[in-house]
Amino acid sequence: MASPYQNSCQIFSAHEIDSLRKGGAILRDCLAHVAALVRPGITTIELDRAAESFIRKRGGKSAFKGYHNYPATLCTSINDVCVHGIPGKEVLKEGDIIALDCGVLFGDLYTDACITVPVGKISRNAEMLLSATAEALVAGLSKVRAGARTGDISSAIHETLLERGFDAMRQLTGHGLGDGLHQFPEIPNVGKAGSGSVIPLHTIIAIEPISTAGSTKIKEDDDGWTLRTGDGAFSAHFEHTVLVTEEGGEILA
């Protein structure tokens, strides 16, 4: 069933926020667990199985598996893959970077988060890309508060990436979530401060800078899911699910 919140922000009750906090805790712990398994020689399907087992044991459900027929619990996006890399037999190698994107359904509410981690020793440029993208997420989070506009977040993300010599993938955005995995508002990673939708108190948003060390164009693989940078440059992805408060944002996952 589609979420009704495609043109307006969903506002959450205290009970729902408590449930979202619990689901977010499962997701945070899951990503930490899976990130600790990342090493040269492991396959992405092994990481996916670990994530699915962890979420199930904690009483949650995978938000991604079955979503528009997506086949896995994680998106495992390696090197030039921006988003939606499907776990499989691919073996991680020294020098790779991998984005671990995951969602949890708990109490009929969704949370969504991503981290990008190194596989063994990575290049200096890859280190800088990961650092810049993580900093862009922090910059975006700093603009969150009731009454802010989505463009405030977008502008902070993009300016941070540009200052560090990188760019944002324009076609890929953050979003609202709650009853559905993707809801209003859309939160682009490029934008103008003071523009966009007003973000109300007690809504939930996913902020997710997706960066590139090269082209901002995207290529889609034949699987219909995997999206890559147009020139093969590395891409990084960090994401938090955030509760909007009067003072700022509370990170849920």
Residue 250 labeled ligand binder: no
The whole domain housing 225 covers 14-251
Q: Is residue 8 part of a domain?
A: no
Q: What is the pLDDT of residue 2?
A: 60
Residue 130's domain is classified under what CATH number? 3.90.230.10
Residue 239 labeled ligand binder: yes
Residue 163 labeled ligand binder: no
Q: What is the pLDDT of residue 6?
A: 80
Residue 175 labeled ligand binder: yes
Q: Is residue 1 part of a domain?
A: no
Mean pLDDT by 10 residues, the chain (253 residues): 80 98 99 99 99 99 98 99 99 99 99 99 99 99 98 99 98 98 98 98 99 98 98 99 96 99
Q: Is residue 3 part of a domain?
A: no
Q: Is residue 9 part of a domain?
A: no
Q: Is the pTM of this model over 0.95?
A: yes
Q: Is residue 4 part of a domain?
A: no
Q: Is residue 2 part of a domain?
A: no
* Closest residue by Cα to residue 140 from 215, 213, 197, 205: 205
Q: Is residue 5 part of a domain?
A: no
Residue 240 labeled ligand binder: no
Judge contact between 55 and 28, C-beta under 8 A: no
Residue 208 labeled ligand binder: yes
Rounded CA gap, 151 and 160, in Å? 14
- Number of compact structural domains in the chain: 1
Cβ of 238: how many Cβ atoms within 10 Å? 23
- The first and second tokens of residue 151, run together, are 């463009």
Q: Is residue 49 part of a domain?
A: yes
